[in-house]
Amino acid sequence: MSLFASAGGQRIKQVRSVLEHIGLYVGLAVYTAAGAKIFQSIEHPNELDVLNTYQALLISKRQVFLRAVWNTSQNLVNYHEKIDEYLTEYESIVEEAVQHGINVVSQDYHVSWNYIQSVFFSTTILTTIGYGNIAPVTFFGRLFCMLFAIIGIPFTLSVVADVGQLFATLLSTIWDKYKDKIQPIIDKFKKEKGEDEDMGIGNGMYTAIIVFIFLIVFLSCGAFLFTLWEDWTFFEAFYFCFITMTTIGFGDIVPEKTAYMLVCTIYILVGMAFTTTAIELFRRQYAESWKKMQELRAQIQAQLKLADTLRKLGEHADKNNLELDVDIAGDLAELKKNLAKMKKGKMKGLEDIDINELDWVEKNRKVRAVTIFIYETSL
């Protein structure tokens, strides 16, 4: 009976965990959707007013300019001055109209604050990407943007961290499943390169390389899809994916096809989680490698200090005709091994270690020495 109760309790915990994950994702989706609707309701009417105003100005100034050309052609007095005046006014309106998204040729426009674009804009706020291609201009729109970001950014970071944890668990599961097949290949490769496993750095490097390859593949898949949806080259699409996933968000290249905007939003959220996981793995491996290097540095310094002490003891023994042999062949072998690791790894930060005593130790594998007590009392 207790066995069934334990199994039931375990199943309830699993279901609760799944519901918590789903609740996070659904909550973020609802929050984003609601925020996008509010942004649209605030900014869209103002955008329409501005676009209609500039559209009317563009049309009227164009007609004024054309009439001026015709009228002044009947009177040659101040002809060039008048044309220049009307043309300057028309060019000024054209510049402002283009900045607001009006097509000068067709004199038509497309709105930026439709619902799909509003969802995309909300996503760029929550993920802190901030392309800047659209932004609120009204007082209430900017006020709501600040409130929306204050609440939504921590919420989104929690979701991204949760997705990243799922990715890490997935990668660990894949590794555990195929470890027996992958590890022999890595060991063989390391053996061919003559790497020492005591360093603990090689495994981290291979892990980082594998994660980097996965990241490149993920970005490449997204880039390929964007080349199908947008009029981009593969490099432009890959550049957009990289700038987006790292939250740099220049905004020089942004999607324009609203039909695929929701898919793009999902890709960004998933991609940020994956990129964050990859960067965290890179950071951990770098920290681990640095720790190993510092441990090796301390070990080499201690062994060199011992070698220097033995040299001084040997010199003191020579002066006092003391005959006590100390075999340091083992210590010398370990010291040479550590120095070989340092050179093979081409480690930075170990340049200040003094290895001048190594030649003396090499010539005196079995040095004559005295006890520390005799040595210290004679100084």
The pLDDT tens digits of the residues spanning 221-258 come to 999 999 999 999 999 999 999 999 988 888 899 988 87
Region for residue 354 given its phi and psi (left: phi exceeds 0; alpha: psi -120 to 50; beta: otherwise) = beta
User: Which ranges constitute the DSSP H helices of the chain?
Assistant: 2-72, 79-99, 115-126, 139-193, 202-229, 234-245, 261-320, 329-345, 358-363, 372-378
Domain finish residue from 155, 184, 215: 155
Domain boundary among 103, 129, 155: 155
Indicate the number of domains in the chain: 2
Neighbours of 138 (CB within 10 A): 14
What is the rounded distance in angstroms from the CA atom of residue 170 to the CA atom of residue 219? 18
Domain boundary, last residue among 130, 155, 180: 155
Q: Is 12 buried (19+), middle (13-18) or exposed (0-12) by CB count in 10 A?
A: exposed
What are the CB-based long-range contacts (under 8 Å, 24+) for 246-249? 246/275, 247/127, 247/128, 247/129, 247/272, 248/129, 249/124, 249/128, 249/129, 249/130, 249/131, 249/132
Q: Give how far the C-alpha of residue 6 lies from the chain's centroid of Cα atoms, to the nearest Å.
A: 42
* pLDDT class of 55 with cuts at 50, 70, 90: very high
- Identify whether 266 is part of a domain: no
**Is 342 contained in some domain?**
yes
Q: Which domain holds residue 296?
A: 285-378
Q: Could you tell me if 289 and 150 lie in one domain?
A: no
Question: For residue 350, which of 309, 292, 308, 294 has the smallest C-alpha distance?
Answer: 294
CATH code where residue 103 lies: 1.10.287.70
Mean pLDDT, rounded, of the chain? 77
For 11-40, what is each residue's pLDDT tens digit?
A: 787 788 888 889 999 999 999 999 999 999
pLDDT at 18: 83
| Nearest residue to 135 via CA among 116, 114, 118, 158 | 118
In a domain, 69, yes or no: yes
More confident site: 171 or 57: 57
Residue 173 lies in a domain: no
* 133 pLDDT above the threshold of 60: yes
Choose between 201 and 260: higher pLDDT. 260
Q: Which two tokens stand for residue 218?
A: 């993920």
User: What does the DSSP 8-state code read for residue 70?
Assistant: H
Assess if residue 255 is contained within a domain: no
Q: What is the mean pLDDT of residues 140-148?
A: 97
Tell how strand 366-368 and strand 325-327 pair up.
antiparallel
In a domain, 169, yes or no: no
If you average pLDDT over residues 66-77, what whole number do you get?
69
Would residue 274 count as lying in a domain? no
Query: For 325-367, how does the pLDDT look when each residue is reduced to its tens digit (9 = 90+)?
Result: 555 555 556 666 666 665 555 555 555 555 554 554 555 544 4
The confidence band for 198, taking pLDDT boundaries of 50, 70 and 90, is very low
CA distance 78 to 81: 5
Percent of the chain clearing pLDDT 70 (strictly above): 70
Average pLDDT over residues 163-170: 78
Task: Give me the pLDDT at residue 365, please.
Answer: 47
Is 149 in the same domain as 289? no
Higher pLDDT, 199 or 160: 160
Q: Does residue 377 carry a pLDDT above 50?
A: no
Q: Comparing C-alpha atoms, which of 124, 135, 123, 105 is closest to residue 42?
A: 135
Q: pLDDT at position 318, please?
A: 59
Residue 153: predicted pLDDT: 94
Overall average pLDDT of the 125-130 stretch: 92
* 132 belongs to a structural domain: yes
Q: Is 322 left (phi over 0), alpha (psi -120 to 50) or beta?
A: beta
- Residue of 360, 362, 353 lying closest to 301 (CA atoms): 353
* pLDDT higher than 50, residue 378: no
- Supply the pLDDT for residue 265: 85
